[in-house]
Structure 1
Amino acid sequence: MSRKIHHIASLLIAPALLAVSVSANAYQAGDAIIRLGAAAVDPQEDSGNVKIGGADSGLTVGVDSDVQLGLTGTYMLSDHLGIGLLAATPFQHSINLNGVGKLADIKHLPPTVTLQYFPLDTKSAVQPFVGAGINYTAFFDEEFTSANKQAGFSDLELDDSWGLALEAGVDYQLTEHLLLNASVWYADIDTEASFKVAGVNSSVDVDIDPFVYMLGLGYKF
């Protein structure tokens, strides 16, 4: 009987010992955390009217969402402050001419750097954080659809963007090194799309301003 009681006690105590082990090795100055997971970009776009040869067409554009592989990192400057980086494989979006249909495809990379604040005790296995910083978005591979090329659309180019970025997230340490992560960012992304219609210079201003959601696993070094 005593052997059974000892076995049951061991099973009950083990999770507590694991929690103590994890919390005793939580975040502190000098730690580096790498996170990998699915990242979804959800544009909250606001488009100006498309201008063809300087004339207002009355048409606007929309941008669809996309999911790619996301990679984030944090380097702890102190027990409560860190430098964060958001990167990803290139996001691809369709640009739609509202009321008409799909206009073009584009790709972009949105590297974002933030200063992060972790408010809880450094020994806590749960580490929520908030951050603020700068986003740079580089657009490339801008291509009109084949049908629109045949209709006279050409030379599509989107200006790169600099803007404010905000983030919030939480890490939960499963072991001393392995963790779960959920994060969300807001990025101020404004661009001007320049192109030609039957050789006539045209443009449209678009505030993309997406939310970026990420869920993944991480590793603390």
Structure 2
Amino acid sequence: MKKIALVAAFCAAVVGWSDAAVAQTVSGKEAGSFMVRGRMIGVLPDESAKLALNGTGISGSAKVDNAFVPEVDFSYFITENIALELIAATTRHGVTARNPAGLGDQNLGSVWLLPPTLTLQYHFLPKNWISPYVGAGINYTFFYNEKAGGGVARTVDYENSFGWALQAGVDIQLQDRFYLNIDVKKLFLSTDVTINGPLGRITADVDLDPWIVGVGVGYRF
């Protein structure tokens, strides 16, 4: 609920800023221009899971830790309103199985994610100093450097997968080419996890579905 409240507050702020910005015109965004941004992001999984032991469903769920890392993205403006954005960042997450088969919480170790995401954006008020935008696109997530946590997990493997992305954000022009940026994304991302250990093979169908919340600066050229 806290994550949903945060996003709702952000969207309300964007609407308010948009109304205030209507009369304030600057050089703004242009067709054929590029923008590069650097952000500090929080990756906040909204996870759920279905577990099975040796092919038989068992009780339990999964917990994936939040992560906070720097991120870089690149945008190309097809028109002053329409842009393509590609983001790149990598994050490390600790993973816990919550009470599988009544055994109590089990440390499953950690995994790194690399989720390049391409979105098609629509930028409102491109010639105003406050310019909100929305976007939607596709994601492909690479899981790598998996480390098992011992106990029920001697080895662990995550399957790479495609997902979808929704996005909302705002660019606030600080100078002619410099911007402050606030951005929220929702990724719809699933993976199949295989865990081998003393109990046998545990499989999990995990929906990660993270929120990605970022603040940073951008440069348009």
- Shorter-chain TM-score: which interval? 0.7 to 0.9
Q: TM-score, normalised by structure 1?
A: 0.83
For residue 102 of structure 1, the aligned residue among 82, 98, 107 is 107
Matches of 1:152 and 1:193, distance apart in 2: 14
TM-superposed CA distance for 1:101, in Å, is: 4.0
1:7-45 Cα distance to aligned partner (Å, 9 max, x none) = xxxxxxxxxxxx9xx944210101111110211101111
Give distance in 2, aligned partners of 1:61 and 1:200.
Answer: 18
Is 2:176 the partner of 1:171?
no
Pairwise CA distance, 1:77? 0.2
- 1:1-221 mapped onto 2 (5 Å cutoff): 23-49=25-51, 51-88=52-89, 90-99=90-99, 100-120=105-125, 122-145=126-149, 148=150, 151=151, 153-198=153-198, 200-221=200-221
Is the contact between residue 39 and residue 71 of structure 2 (CA under 8 Å) also seen in structure 1? yes
* Residue 11 (structure 2) aligns with: none
Q: Which amino acid aligns with 2:57?
A: D
Offset at residue 102 of structure 1 (A): 2.6
Answer yes or no: is the 8 Å Cα contact 1:97–1:103 preserved in 2. yes
Q: State how far apart, in whole Å, the 1-side matches of 2:83 and 2:91 are.
A: 26
Asked if structure 2 preserves the Cα contact closer than 8 Å seen for 1:52 and 1:197, the reply is no
| 1:57 Cα deviation from its structure 2 partner | 3.0
Aligned-residue offset at 1:218: 0.8
How many residues align? The count is 194
Calculate percent identity across the aligned residue pairs: 31
In structure 1, C-alpha distance between the alignment counterparts of 2:128 and 2:181, rounded to whole Å:
15
What is the identity, as a one-letter code, of the residue corresponding to 2:64?
V
Distance (whole Å) between structure 1 residues aligned to residue 60 and residue 166 of structure 2: 31
CA distance in 2, matches of 1:47, 1:61: 6
Superimposed CA distance per residue, residues 28-65 of structure 1 (whole angstroms, 9 cap, x where no aligned partner): 1011111102111011111112x221123312211111
How far 1:200 sits from its partner (Å)? 2.6
Distance 2:127 2:59 in 1: 57
Taking the aligned partners of 2:166 and 2:53, their CA distance within structure 1 comes to 35
In structure 2, distance between residues paired with 1:71 and 1:130 = 18
Tell me how large the CA RMSD over aligned residues is.
1.7
Q: What's the secondary structure of 2:171's corresponding residue?
A: strand
Q: Secondary structure at the match of 1:29?
A: coil
Instruction: Could you tell me which runs of 5 or more consecutive residues in structure 2 were left unpaired when the two chains were aligned.
Output: 1-20, 100-104
Q: Contact between 2:164 and 2:187, CA under 8 Å: does it hold in 1?
A: yes
**Which residue identity does 2:184 align to in structure 1?**
V
Q: Separation in 1 of the partners of 2:107 and 2:202? A: 17
State the one-letter code of the partner of 1:173: Q
For structure 1, the 5+ residue unaligned runs are: 1-18
